Amino acid sequence: MQVVARKRNWGSRSAGRALLATLACAAAVALVPGAGVAAPPKVYVYPIPGGQVAAPETQIAFRGVSPSMLAGITVTGSVSGAHNGTVAADSDGRGGSFLPSVPFAPGETVTVETSLNIVGGKQGTFSFKVATPLIGFPAIHWPAAARRAGDVWQFRSRSDLIPAAVQILKRGPTARGDIFLAPQNGPLYDGPEIIDPNGQLIWFKPMHGDTSVADFRVQRYNGRPVLTWWQGSVTAGIGNGVDIINDSSYRQIAAIHAANGLSADLHEFQLTPYGTALIVANYPVVWTAPGSPPQHVIDSVVQEIDIPTGLVLFQWDSLDHVPVSDSYEGHPKLNHNPYDYFHVNSVDVDNDGNLVISGRNTWAAYKVDHRTGAVIWRLGGKHSSFKLAPGVYWAFQHDVRIRANSDWFITLFDDSAGPPKIHTQSRGIKLIVSLRHMTVRQVASHVHAPPLSANFEGNFQQLRDRHDFLGWGQQAYFSEYDPQGNLIFDGRFVAAGPGTPDSSYRAYRFAWNGTPVTLPAIAVVLQGSSTMVYVSWNGATNVASWRVLGGSSPGALTQVGTAVKRGFETAIKIPSQTFVAVQALDRRGNVLSTSTTLKVS
């Protein structure tokens, strides 16, 4: 019996002795008469055995085995022939990928031969088909919102920002935390935007050109809170871009790209506790269903990416598991546009480690085996595994999430506005799910007053104190509800309204603590014998007050004024000075940072 140990940092002699003891016991088992030989580990592969929509640039991922055992792999295309390649190890030591030296040929069948125990294979051998991809869909930017008075914020100290302005319409006893938005329609710049509970800007990162931003929120990476978002371009409701991670100083620490020649889509970017990222992508292909002529269809793709290596750890393709006939979406009016029959818009991890995937255009959520990709159950749609109680409905849903407290339930944002419009208004709903009886009943439904009807986007965030925070997607509102379902907080972009409103794909409330690596920014305006100093520090959350320093030379500055921090930018009037600098102070009066020294002209 051969025993293969994964490389670990055991850290002590006692741990090393424990490892040796374990190996000795394993060897002893092999020597005991009748003990038998341990079965080889199960190995899961992606593309899955029998998969029909692999990309020409696909890697071949193996999970459940030490990378040292990924030897002797033979890969042969029915058109392209034998493929050379290299094997790259996953960062957790539980698998790796064969990376072909050249892409596969569209339409061919690829056969992979190994000595491994491949789940779904036969004696270590499996095959998959390479789809024919469609190309040539130009990127477009979200149309700019119609301009209105006060629709952007402008600051003397940071004239380069110009974020979309928000208006708080209703205030109440809300949950703690700041508000996270990502305006998609400008009016001048898109970008991730943090708003404090009073509706004042905390941080904004302007995007230029055709770059849009979506799904901006706080997550945890390597045990620490981080900011994450998607950025890229958008075409016909799908995105082509990259997922970004920033630390609490607003420095980029990672950029996660989709693998296998695909591009990350805007609809989901979720970090897991294991150093991996769940992302989605769209893959337009030529698709032929049994008994039907070829169609141009978008395959909705879910990938789990190993962040340190960029390798695929899992991939799920909608066309391998959900038939095109399950869609409620009408075929595109223009023949050259691919049919977006599924439209993945969220992925969540259930308590058992399996995934729940939302398909907007099938009106259904799918529980998916996180190893094989097989569908375990369907919630809603044309073939629901559950019986829905009277009055339970949704259409074109977004943001399906598993919530497990004392009860097992699901939350989702019910757009219902299509097009076509299915119901009178959009809602956030909470469902109790019984796996024993395979039934679903509704226990909460949040609607907006006045009613809102969102054609696309939206989300439902459950906060820790049982408050619910909703982003209304296309309608550019964000709202909070107490445990009794009362609307206690409501806000919107100032640009919201008739015509082309601003929108944020999702809206969230999170606690956040940011300390920028940049310095506070200042600007001065002379007013006779006085000087008005304008100061801000983009992203700083711990500033309580400002101390103004002034003098006749940069090396001889003394305190000439103070002020309590008010909003993003604070104006401070001081006697006329030749040189000015400003210090940011926390609540105890400690200096957090000092601006550059500015000569007053």
The residues spanned by each domain of the chain are 1-37, 39-57+67-131, 167-510, 521-599
Domains 39-57+67-131 and 521-599 share a fold: yes
pLDDT of residue 30: 36
Q: How far is Cα 268 from Cα 360, in angstroms, rounded to an integer?
A: 13
pLDDT of residue 14: 35
pLDDT of residue 533: 97
513, 248 in Cβ contact below 8 A?
Answer: yes
pLDDT of residue 238: 83
> Phi and psi at residue 325, in whole multiples of 5°?
-65, -10
Residue type, 181: L
Count of other CB atoms within 10 angstroms of residue 349: 17
Residue type, 205: K
pLDDT of residue 2: 30
pLDDT of residue 141: 72
User: Of all helices (H) and strands (E), which one includes residue 356?
Assistant: strand 355-359
Q: Which of these, 215, 167, 154, lies nearest to 510 by C-alpha position?
A: 215
pLDDT of residue 24: 34
End-to-end CA distance of the chain: 82
pLDDT of residue 95: 98
What the block records as the tokens of 243 is 């997922």
Q: Which CATH class is domain 521-599?
A: mainly beta
**Domain 39-57+67-131 architecture:** Sandwich (2.60)
pLDDT of residue 495: 86
User: Per CATH, which fold does 167-510 belong to?
Assistant: Neuraminidase (2.120.10)
Residue with structure tokens 């995007």? 207
Q: How far is Cα 292 from Cα 296, in angstroms, rounded to an integer?
A: 12
Per DSSP, the three-state class of 325 is: helix
pLDDT of residue 32: 38
Where the chain has pLDDT below 70, the residues are: 1-37, 137-139, 334-336, 404-407, 499
pLDDT of residue 404: 65
